[in-house]
Amino acid sequence: MKEDHRINGQMLLCLACVDFSDYFQLIYILQSLNPEQTVVIRTDVPYSDATVSSVTSVWQAADWYEREAHDLFGVGFDGHPDLSPLLL
């Protein structure tokens, strides 16, 4: 996504986690400057296996967003450099 010239998702603006009744939903909001566009990616994460791959190696801004989702919702991020508690 970051290197695809059609999308060019240079910046991660936000990563949010939503808790639905039987799964989490992760929402990634990416911004491109050239061409100017916003891309929203949503992925469902089941409670039974609440782990996804970290995107910190692609977008460093994901660091604290992933730590927050881990801290508040218990979502695991494989490959994250430091999932120590951020808030609690």
What pLDDT score was predicted for residue 1? 54
CA 84 to mean position of chain CA atoms: 17
What pLDDT score was predicted for residue 6? 61
- What does the pLDDT look like over 58-77, one tens digit per residue? 999 999 999 999 999 999 99
**Domain 11-78, CATH homologous superfamily name and number:** NADH:ubiquinone oxidoreductase Nqo5 subunit (3.30.460.80)
- What does the pLDDT look like over 34-65, one tens digit per residue? 778 888 999 999 999 999 999 999 999 999 99
Are 52 and 77 spatial neighbours (Cβ–Cβ below 8 Å)?
yes
What pLDDT score was predicted for residue 13? 94
Flag the least confident range among 3-12, 21-30, 65-74.
3-12
